[in-house]
Chain A
Amino acid sequence: MSKSKFSVKTIVAIGIGAALFFVMARYLSIPSPIPNTTFGIQYSVAAFMTVLYGPVAGMLIAFIGHMLNDMAAGWGVWWSWVIASGVFGVLMGLGVRGMKLDEGEFGVKDAIRFNVVQIVAHCICWGLVAPVLDILIYNEPVEKIFLQGLVGGLGNILATAIVGTILCFAYAKAKPKKGSLTKEDSTEE
């Protein structure tokens, strides 16, 4: 299980992570009261997988998943938000460096850190990156863009806080701890 940036495993994780991101975005997003803005459950998956596979993987999972979803949906590719998704992955990954979720460790301290990082990352992405890009590209009214960013950002924070945290805890529990196996049940079945 080497964690070098581009091991085959990381490539596969990016591909499958992006597929999961896509499916969540398409089938599980919950519309918010503000038009064209949804609560993105997909970010909880991106955040969880970023903890496991690092910032580069996180960036690509969110970027590719978001881009493919925009392409399939038909409303054009909304690059400003696609890029912001990618930035979320990077920030998340930098913030959770050194966590050992892949070894089955995820305690209350980790959960707090995970959530602080995700809140900060979402705030930067939807409060700063996406609106600034939107203003540059479309020059839309600042208030409108920030309201969309705020609602979307809050929705994403809430989704990541609940679903993302549950995912991390459940994964840590499902992962057998190092040296605790007596029978080869992880590879044989």
Chain B
Amino acid sequence: MVNLFNYIDRQSPVHKLTGAAKFALLILWMLAAMTTFCTPYLCALTVLAVLLFRLSKIRFRDVAVMIWLTLVFLALNNILIYLFSPEHGVEIYGSRTLLFAGIGRYTVTAQQLLYHLNVVLKYTATIPIVLLFVATTNPSEFAASLNRLGVSYKISYSVALALRYIPDTVREFHDISQSQQARGIEMSRKENMVKRLTNAAAIILPLILSGMDRIDVVTNAMELRGFGKNKTRTWYMGRKFSTGDILCILLGILLVAVSLSYTLWNGGRYWNPFG
């Protein structure tokens, strides 16, 4: 069975929270981290995220692959930023503390390093939370959670349908691409871009047409069982909010509030130690 979403079923306080509360926290947490450049606050968020991770009983090796991918992504992004704008930090903080002269425009300044630290912290403050949400939330609960948070039940259900049909589509994709490979269609790097795209179409076309047929069957099946007849619906996987859930959402609101009040109090998003 393809476990694309890496949901890991364990007994932990984090698992016990409803998906809705966790999703709300995820959104609020990311909002808090995205809106600020206060380095100490980002550090605090990172520490808090790691603590929550410990609490969830998800082990490092459960998510090791994903973490490695993220680190590569992060490293490449930082390199690219530095290549394009080695003194970006100087601009932002309005001062220049040269540490090494470097080569040509590629200097090393304390401001640039702090900026890079901020970029890294933005990741480390949010990525554990996304991993945590994915690892501790049963995909089945996702749609019910969205509906709980005010998304219309029909749109919520389309998310459930996407989750339902992703594994089937993956399987079909593999079957089709294997049989097309036998006919000589290759997606390898040997071919030029246009050729590769045309070849991709030969795999995608049967997949899409079969998807279109599936839309008809699923629509019939859903209508035959009364989908859409009422203004609301209930969810087998829906759960009542517990105290923990309410605390979880309050935490999220608090995090955003801290982030915003810092910006207002500070008169800007940046924590600037350079005076």
Which of B10-18, B118-126, B178-186, B255-263 participates in binding chain A? B118-126
A139 to B88, CA, bound (A): 9
Write the nearest CB–CB distance from B46 to chain A, whole angstroms: 13
Contact size range, B? 35 or more
Q: Is the CB of B197 within 8 A of A163?
A: yes
Contacts of B30 in A (CB 8 A): 77, 79
Q: Does B1 contact A (CB under 8 A)?
A: no
Q: Is the CB of B219 within 8 A of A15?
A: no
Q: Does B218 contact A (CB under 8 A)?
A: yes
Q: Is the CB of B119 within 8 A of A138?
A: yes
Q: Is the CB of A141 within 8 A of B81?
A: yes
A28 to B210, CA, bound (A): 18
Tell which of A72, A138, A159, A174 touches B209, judged by Cβ atoms closer than 8 Å. A174
Which of A4-12, A88-96, A109-117, A122-130 participates in binding chain B? A4-12
Which B residues, 102 to 138, have Cβ-Cβ distances below 8 Å to chain A? 119, 122-123, 126-127, 130-131, 133-134
Q: Does A121 contact B (CB under 8 A)?
A: no
Query: Most chain-B CB neighbours within 10 Å: which of A28, A44, A170, A174?
Result: A28
Q: Does A180 contact B (CB under 8 A)?
A: no
**7 further A-B pairs in the complex, CB-CB below 8 A; given A35-B77, A74-B70, A167-B205:** A6-B154, A18-B158, A20-B211, A30-B197, A35-B80, A68-B163, A163-B200
**Chain B residues proximal to chain A, CB less than 8 Å:** 4-6, 30, 34-35, 37, 63, 65-67, 69-70, 73, 76-77, 79-81, 83-85, 88, 92, 119, 122-123, 126-127, 130-131, 133-134, 152, 154-155, 157-166, 168-170, 173, 187, 193-194, 196-198, 200-201, 203-205, 207-209, 211-212, 214-216, 218-219, 222-223, 227-228
Sample (30) of A-B pairs whose CB atoms are under 8 Å apart: A12-B219, A12-B222, A15-B158, A15-B164, A15-B218, A18-B162, A19-B162, A19-B164, A19-B168, A23-B169, A23-B173, A27-B170, A35-B79, A41-B200, A64-B158, A68-B163, A72-B6, A74-B70, A74-B127, A76-B123, A137-B34, A141-B81, A144-B80, A144-B83, A148-B80, A162-B198, A163-B197, A163-B204, A166-B201, A167-B205
**Chain A residues proximal to chain B, CB less than 8 Å:** 6, 8-9, 11-20, 22-24, 26-28, 30, 34-36, 39, 41, 44-45, 48, 60, 64-65, 68, 70-77, 79, 137-141, 143-144, 147-148, 158-159, 162-163, 166-167, 170-171, 174
